[in-house]
Amino acid sequence: MKVVLSTLNAKYIHTSLAIRFLKSFSEKDFPDIELAEYTIKDPVMNIVSDLFRRKPEVIGFSCYIWNIEETIQVIQMVKKIMPEVKIVLGGPEVSYDTEYWMNRVQDLDFIVMGEGEETFHHLLTEIRGSQKYHFVYGLAYRKGDEVVIMPGRPKLELDKIPTPHRFAEDLPDLSKRIVYFETSRGCPFNCQFCLSSIEVGVRYFDIEQTKSDILYLIDNGAKLIKFVDRTFNIKRDYAMEMFQFLIENHRGCVFQFEITADIMRPEVLDYLAEHAPPGVFRFEIGVQSTNDETNELVKRRQNFAKLTRTVQKVKDSGKIDQHLDLIAGLPMEDYDTFRNTFNDVFALRPEELQLGFLKMLRGTGMRNDAGKYNYIFMDHAPYEILGNDILPFSDLVRIKRVEDVLEKYWNAHRMNHTLEYLITQEFDSAFDFFQSFGDFWEEQGWQKIGHQLEDLFTRLYSFLTSRETQQMDVILGLMKFDYFLNHKYKPRKIWWDFTLEKSEWAAHIKHIAQHPESVSEAFKALGLNEKELQKHAVIEVLPFDLPSLIGEEAPSKKVEQPTLLIVLYQQNDTEKPIYFTMPIHVAETL
């Protein structure tokens, strides 16, 4: 029996873990199972044409809030051209309100609810055999015009699932994709906005098999492995053993984890600070809100003081990038209290701050209690809220403008030094900067058009000058500095007029080549001649003492001794430019 397991991913770079688990569990008895991955951007005709070419008897789709509507379009077209094909849906989006989906999508035949490996295998057995679907626990099916929903089945012993990470067809693309990896299932917490709160308890896969699979993936070229465990560090001993194993065997592969920061033990943090190679680990930390009343209402236990200590200690180590999450629109969080939450978390200066909006996911406590807080939300996925009794749509729209510029500037790391100066010196808070800039961005209509790197700089400059921002000479200097650092190669185009005349620039190049020790010993060690400097160097005069302004202390408004900035590109095979500075009075005496 020919079976195709499919999903529509958000991007080509992701591997779909759920359909691989289904294949690994069933392929012994059903060897003719193929994986077919597409994206939500692929034309429906292209997807259906590919499925038709495979000549399946059963097609299973893995469904989430980000792909359900596109998946339905595919199903409807598939059934028109292949009416005999059995269509099976599974995944979190259809595991709840199952009768609704059976009634809405008349072209589907079955829904596998919840953990799907055993249910799907049993379903295939019945499709091939006696078709007694009333024996299949965890299944929804049609009996004439009636929808039959069977009781759920007990949780599977995870050691019974063969590894889903060793399919030969995955090997050619391992280095180009994010590999999702699951070492456990379940979550110990009960956050009412999250589907993980529905499953009680945490189960682990065999740790030795887990290690073996990770080594196999690394040996075959995996570059980024993202662990999808809800709380990777819930068991201290397990986390320590896995962290140590990954540190000893990473070979350049990067690992991303979801952790709960306020339960991270000090000895684990100390170990990571001492032993973790820089850039190999990434932590994703869900903060969501710092409002105690809100956290209590959504049954989220969180000690923000302990979370802060963990984030700060990880940051101080300089080894691990951190991605912190916020959710706007939680109960009892109005515009002002969310502003406080944003500023509380931004004060930690995470490498990335993800600002999301509450979604009323099917099956969650928040969706069940939506009427209690007068929530209105989208009828179809992703079920994002449109307002509630204290956060109207007008405020949500404003916060979305914050999200827009936050993504373009902070999370993309376009202007780290400039933003730090603006937030600490020119605006009352980080939220106020992003809100003001976001409002200006929309007033200009820029959300309707694309942008290049230069546009991000010129638009920020336009915003700052429009509000008559103080110390624009300092800000412009920092923007120039950030602009140079955002290029891997010497930029051919700039968005301002160079401070130096061509003759001055040439004189500086010549003198620096002849007296490299005046810049620094590190610069001298590069041994660059004048020709190499002309080819690879950018020189600019900044109207302040750059090293003191971007140093450890909070940046000062005071404009001090101007700086000669020297930026080198394509040196020592590095991807990032190297910069050097020297006081302008030293440069003038060369």
- Cα dihedral value 431, 433, 437, 438, nearest 10: 0
Task: Answer whether 423's CB lies under 8 Å from 429's CB.
Answer: yes
How many angstroms separate the CA atoms of 490 and 570, rounded? 8
My answer on whether 470 and 341 are in the same domain is no
My answer on whether 77 and 57 are in the same domain is yes
Q: Is residue 156 part of a domain?
A: no
Question: Mean pLDDT for each consecutive 10-residue tract of the chain (590 residues)?
Answer: 96 87 98 97 97 98 97 98 98 96 97 97 98 98 97 94 96 94 94 86 95 98 96 94 98 97 95 96 97 96 96 96 98 98 98 98 96 97 97 98 98 96 96 98 94 95 96 95 93 86 88 91 92 92 89 57 90 81 67
CATH number at residue 88: 3.40.50.280
Longest dimension (CA), the chain: 93
Task: Answer whether 87's CB lies under 8 Å from 111's CB.
Answer: no
Candidates 144, 42, 136; CA nearest to 88 is: 136
My answer on whether 383 and 413 are in the same domain is no
How many angstroms separate the CA atoms of 391 and 275, rounded? 45
Q: Is residue 293 part of a domain?
A: yes
- pLDDT value for 12: 77
Burial pattern 220-257, b for ≥16 Cβ within 10 A else e, equals: eebebbbbbbbbbbbeeebbbebbeebbeebeebbbbb
Q: Which of 96, 118, 150 is where one domain is finished?
A: 150
My answer on whether 382 and 508 are in the same domain is no
How many angstroms separate the CA atoms of 93 and 108, rounded? 15
My answer on whether 35 and 98 are in the same domain is yes
Tokens 């289904």: give the residue.
22
CATH number at residue 320: 3.80.30.20
Domain that holds residue 436: 408-489
- 10 Å Cβ neighbour count for 434? 27
Count of structural domains within the chain = 4
Q: Which of 391, 423, 443 is where one domain is finished?
A: 391
Q: Is residue 589 part of a domain?
A: no
- pLDDT value for 559: 55
How many angstroms separate the CA atoms of 71 and 515, rounded? 65
How many angstroms separate the CA atoms of 111 and 374, rounded? 31
Q: Is residue 159 part of a domain?
A: no
- Residue 502, classed as helix, strand or coil, is helix
My answer on whether 356 and 209 are in the same domain is yes
33: which strand partners?
3
- Residue 477, classed as helix, strand or coil, is helix
Burial pattern 417-432, b for ≥16 Cβ within 10 A else e, equals: bbbbbbbebbbebbbb
My answer on whether 100 and 178 are in the same domain is no
How many angstroms separate the CA atoms of 283 and 246, rounded? 14
How far is the first Cα of the chain from the last one, in angstroms, to the nearest whole number?
81
Q: Is residue 160 part of a domain?
A: no
This prediction's pTM: 0.93
My answer on whether 426 and 332 are in the same domain is no
How many angstroms separate the CA atoms of 209 and 217, rounded? 12
My answer on whether 40 and 145 are in the same domain is yes
Task: Answer whether 133's CB lies under 8 Å from 139's CB.
Answer: yes
Candidates 462, 355, 358; CA nearest to 411 is: 355
How many angstroms separate the CA atoms of 261 and 283, rounded? 9
Q: Is residue 155 part of a domain?
A: no
Identify the DSSP state of 259.
E
My answer on whether 294 and 239 are in the same domain is yes
- pLDDT value for 590: 46
Q: Write out the DSSP string of 513-543.
A: HH-GGGT-HHHHHH---HHHHHHHEEEEEES
Q: Is 169 exposed, middle or buried (0-12, 13-18, 19+ CB in 10 A)?
A: exposed
- Residue 137, classed as helix, strand or coil, is coil
- Residue 274, classed as helix, strand or coil, is helix
My answer on whether 244 and 364 are in the same domain is yes
Q: Is residue 117 part of a domain?
A: yes
Q: Is residue 17 part of a domain?
A: yes
The two structure tokens encoding residue 76:
């409807």
Q: Which of 489, 510, 545 is where one domain is finished?
A: 489
The CA radius of gyration of the chain, in Å to the nearest whole number, is 28
- pLDDT value for 557: 54
How many angstroms separate the CA atoms of 121 and 139, rounded? 11
My answer on whether 36 and 91 are in the same domain is yes
How many angstroms separate the CA atoms of 192 and 294, rounded? 11
- Residue 304, classed as helix, strand or coil, is helix
